[in-house]
Amino acid sequence: MPPDSASDPPGGPPRLICRCFCISSLHIAQAVRAQGLTRLDQVQSTLRAGSGCASCHPEIEEILAEERGESVSKQVRVANRARCRSESERRIEASLYMAIVPKLPAGTRVELVCVEGLRIDLHITPSNDATLQALIQEKLRKLVCQDLEIVFS
């Protein structure tokens, strides 16, 4: 079964929730548990998550409900995952191709192979350049989310 599907366990696989402030589901759930957060406004004031464009509010509400032990309908989960996947891919592509690739050495080619939650698969040429890989990882984590797992194939 593909990641981010409605049949994932509660919480599902880790994903980028707040694209404005680069905050993952891991950080939101951890803060909810550790600090006893129960409302969206508490998440906003504690983490800033959800205090930008507001497109992540349904996903934050889902995390809050799951942390309270409440069930979330399959329809809500599917809609949240679809929106999250689309907006996360858009954020990753923009960061990669508009902010990172133009600053790489001439002749460097970067292909975004796959995005699954917080995992990004990239193909770069030259592929064995560890310094280049480290630079791309650092920039993506800074621009998109510190919790990204970046795999080079």
Give residue 11's pLDDT.
61
| Tens digits of residue pLDDT in 92-124 | 999 999 999 999 999 899 999 999 999 999 999
Domain borders along the chain are 16-87, 93-152
Q: Where are the alpha helices (DSSP H) in 19-147?
A: 25-35, 40-47, 57-67, 74-94, 130-143
34-64-57-13 Cα dihedral, nearest 10 degrees: 80
3-class DSSP state of 109: strand
Which CATH topology does 93-152 take? GMP Synthetase; Chain A, domain 3 (3.30.300)
pTM of the model: 0.82
